[in-house]
A and B are shown apart, each in its own frame.
Chain A
Amino acid sequence: MSMKAMSSKEVAKKVMNKEELFILDVRNADEFEDWKIEGDHFQHLNVPYFELLDGVDGIMDQIPDDKELLVVCAKEGSSIMVAEMLAEKGLDVSYLEGGMKAWSEHMEPVKVGELSNGGEMYQFVRLGKGCLSYMVVSGGEAAVIDATRMTDIFTGFAKEKGVKITHVLDTHLHADHISGGRAIAKETGGTYWLPPKDAGEVVFDYQPLNDNDEITIGNISINIHALYSPGHTIGSTSFVVDGKYLLTGDILFIDSIGRPDLAGLADDWVGDLRETLYKRYRELSEELIVLPAHFMIIEELNDDGSVAEKLGTLFAENHGLNIEDEEKFRKIVTENLPPQPNAYKEIRQTNMGKITPDEDTQREMEIGPNRCAVR
């Protein structure tokens, strides 16, 4: 019947609204196994495009006729070829515009809540990669936390809101994605903050972010309080925003905890991770709402598409916060870890400013899931 393009934004809406979708993924099997578009009610069929060059007759009986159909490939070309064949067979079919490359870069802003004096907290959900960034908006100013390299999304959003970005912060030196923090600070004239213990090798100027530092956003003053919380990296720092939200970076997630090995020092840092999760966080109010820098599985999304949960609930339900035995904890977070993120060493070098790959290379480096957690 007909073929049309479906944008990453439309797919993101379907994920967040928990709609049904049948995805025919025509990338090769390894790529599909490694990383795919997930939704609560999404079904998948993986048949590489090069097995469909002679036609789609062999797979017609595997495609349901009562579900919306989307063909997905790496960059778009092969999915158009396959979608055209399916359309010729009489199906209504879409292909993913820009392929998994575009999906990997798409971000959806979600308002997670109000702050005092009319301030607002926004979460930017990068569904394709499981990355979460934040913007604190207050009194005509904004702070961006754990920004991705798609800096236009943040500067564009600030412009739309009519606010000026004055502070840009990273909770730690990221290993799974390239930070946009430095670029945003440069563009907006804002201050770029990094924990100094993660920044020993960086080759640019930054403002050191230390335990108990206070940053004020806007004239009506929303307070960001830094809390040193090492373990994923030695510098990892959390933020308590307006006494209401706890931004945990890659230390604590909704259904998992941070892994300590991405800078090659798992055995040294496991004690810090334990201390942060079982002592420092225990001293905080259980009413704080945890906003992590990642999610791993689609089930971690709330009904409104946000990723957020009360600290008290996580103490009760997150497995990683309930391992009483220290030796057992050590084993879990240092042994049998999942594979490390794609190109994580090069990503760290990029975030230190030591290498500056072109945009295509940066995109390739980030392909795949983030894998910053242990469950």
Chain B
Amino acid sequence: MNSDKVLDAKGLACPMPIVRAKKAITDMEAGQVLEIHATDQGSKTDIAAWAKSSGHELLKDTDEGGVFKFWVKKN
């Protein structure tokens, strides 16, 4: 899936993946897609819940051998 920006949050513990994601998406245009890579177990559910509560759209997420990837479309 295409993305406009990739955020590498691997190795970061909660809450940093979402702190970084929020910062990254703030600088983007509406409609652009942010791709996030994380290894924190909690990010699986938290990124989905964060996207929902902040009005962004989680287009897709995958688990590639312990690396979780998310594609979030900015509102």
**Footprint of B on A, CB under 8 Å?**
28-31, 48-51, 53, 73-75, 77-78, 81, 364
Contact = CB atoms under 8 A, between A and B. Distances in A.
B15 A81 contact: yes
Contacts of A51: 53
Contacts of B15: 49-50, 53, 73, 77-78, 81
Nearest to B23: A53
B49 interface: yes
A28 B49 contact: yes
A28 B14 CA distance: 12
Interface in B1-54: 13-16, 18-19, 22, 41-42, 45-46, 49-50, 53-54
Contact of A75 (B18, B22, B42, B50): B42
A242 B54 CA distance: 60
Contacts of A30: 45, 49
A73 B14 CA distance: 9
Given A73-B15, A78-B15, 8 more contacts: A28-B46, A28-B49, A48-B46, A49-B14, A50-B15, A53-B22, A75-B14, A77-B15
Contact of A50 (B13, B41, B49): B49
A53 B18 contact: yes
Given A73-B14, A78-B14, A48 B45 contact: no
Contact of B42 (A53, A74, A81): A74
A50 B22 contact: yes
Contacts of A48: 46, 49-50, 53
A51 B54 CA distance: 8
B50 A50 contact: yes
Nearest to A79: B15
A50 B42 CA distance: 12
Quick one: which of A31, A50, A74, A75 has the most chain B CB within 10 A? Answer: A50
27 contacts: A28-B45, A28-B46, A28-B49, A31-B45, A48-B46, A48-B49, A48-B50, A48-B53, A49-B15, A49-B18, A50-B15, A50-B18, A50-B22, A50-B46, A50-B53, A50-B54, A51-B53, A53-B19, A53-B22, A74-B42, A75-B13, A75-B14, A77-B14, A78-B14, A78-B15, A81-B15, A81-B19
Nearest to B48: A28
B50 to A, nearest CB: 4
Contacts, number: 43
A81 B19 CA distance: 10
Interface in B41-70: 41-42, 45-46, 49-50, 53-54
A242 B51 CA distance: 58
A363 B13 CA distance: 17
B9 to A, nearest CB: 13
Contact of A77 (B13, B49, B50): B13
A177 B40 CA distance: 23
A217 to B, nearest CB: 41
A89 to B, nearest CB: 18
CB-based closest 8 A-B pairs: A50-B50, A78-B15, A28-B49, A77-B14, A50-B18, A77-B13, A74-B42, A49-B15
A31 B41 CA distance: 13
A117 B54 CA distance: 65
B22 to A, nearest CB: 5
A308 B52 CA distance: 45
A364 B13 CA distance: 15
A26 B16 CA distance: 14
Contacts of B22: 50, 53
A81 B16 CA distance: 10
Contacts of B41: 364
Nearest to B54: A50
A72 to B, nearest CB: 13
Contact of B16 (A29, A74, A77, A364): A77
A163 B64 CA distance: 48
Contacts of B54: 50
Contacts of B45: 28, 30-31
Contacts of A364: 41
Quick one: which of A28, A31, A73, A75 has the most chain B CB within 10 A? Answer: A28
